[in-house]
Amino acid sequence: MPDCVDRSLRGWPVKIGRNDPCWCGSGKKFKKCHLYRENAEPVKVSEVLRSFRVAAENKTCLHPNAGASTCGQPIRSHTIGKSAGLTTIARRGHVYRFKADLEDIFSSKRRNLPILEGLNRASTFPGFCAFHDSDLFRPIDAEPFVGSTEQVFLLMYRSVARELYAKLVFRKATDIMATLDQGKPVDVQHAVQGLSLLASLGGELGLADVASMKQQLDRDLLGSSVDNTRFVIYWLNTKPPLLCSAATQPNRDVLGHPVFDLVSSGVTGSHVACNIVPTDCGGAIVFSWLDGDRHADRYFETLNGIPLKEVPGVVVVHAFDTFENIFAQPDWWEGLPDGLRIELMERFQTVNIQGFSPPPESLILRVMAELDGHVTETTVRL
């Protein structure tokens, strides 16, 4: 066997000795990693699916006091309340889910998105135990939403916790991604590892950011203080046909205009939560963030400049542009004009590293025409 092997490709080292660190960055010796990788048995789709499923279903509890002595049974927690939220838009116990799950991605029987999903599964993630989920979120799951600062804080907390969990799962997914070059030619190995590296670096940046936000919220939770919570609530006169629980970095405002650059800015801990919930009198669109977040303040400035009559349409388009955890009333979605459904799905499925293009005014107006409700008043806490 040769002592070193030529592995030159677009900047990778020209020659690597058998005992040198592997070019892929795994930390293993080359002979224990990518030497003769092209001769390895390719990874089976079933193995990939199983690995992803294990990563995605790893139950945990993200409460700051979580531990063996305090936690109950691990569960899949609803990010949108089942009885107080999802039931209001369900048809025969199902709502439309827009994000593809593992079965949709790898199944031989391709299913078109969106997909009708049962209420027991819709909007859930394995991020809290039964005790902490019930105890912590009782004010938003078992009580009517009235827009108290405590309720807004809990909506934001749960949205950020879900985002943190998604980032942790993505970290595991990039590790799995790095194994997909087994049995592939060397140039394909380089391509796979390059994509895996880029995904990993981006994922780590996102994870660090949302983890910083979660730590700030944990301090407020443990200190029984919601004084840092800032929000704007748009009260609707009818129950919304689209529900949402999400958190995002406000690098772009609700109209798609840049606020800051994710990569070069060095910003950490900047997040805005968006929740669309039903209420006893209709519904509420809730944007929340923490005091002192100047980027979130700029995000709100754009919101504040939108005429109230346009807010519901703008927010629905923004939800499809930006968030994953959204769920629609089946009758409403199926009743939309075909062209509008197609355009919203195209925007939802678009992945663009530069960000989403600002929505055309015509799209917002078409969405507004399909919404029965309007904003009756606002509540602002700055």
| pLDDT, greater one: 211 or 351 | 211
Specify which of 192-206, 267-281, 297-311 reaches the highest per-range mean pLDDT.
297-311
pLDDT in tens, 105-138: 555 455 678 999 999 999 999 999 999 999 999 9
Among the ranges given (31-45, 81-95, 130-144, 307-321), the one the predictor scored with the smallest mean pLDDT: 31-45
| pLDDT score of 354 more than 50 | no
Determine the pLDDT at residue 255.
85
**Coil/strand/helix, residue 202:** helix
Whole-model pTM: value is 0.88
| pLDDT score of 264 more than 70 | no
In this prediction, residue 7 has a pLDDT band, given cuts at 50, 70 and 90, of very low
Instruction: Identify which of 380, 375, 149, 160 has the alpha carbon closest to the alpha carbon of residue 284.
Output: 375
Stated as kind and residue range, the H or E segment containing 278 is: strand 272-279
- 253-257: average pLDDT: 84
Q: Which amino acid does the sequence have at 173?
A: A
How does 123-138 read in b/e, with b if 16+ C-beta sit within 10 Å? bbbbbbbebbbeebbe
| pLDDT score of 332 more than 50 | yes
pLDDT in tens, 157-208: 999 999 999 888 888 878 888 888 999 998 899 898 888 888 888 778 888 8
List of residues 6+ apart from 201 with CB closer than 8 A: none
Instruction: Identify which of 239, 212, 222 has the alpha carbon closest to the alpha carbon of residue 90.
Output: 239
CA atoms of 252 and 197, how far apart (whole Å): 25
List of residues 6+ apart from 218 with CB closer than 8 A: 64
| pLDDT, greater one: 231 or 11 | 231
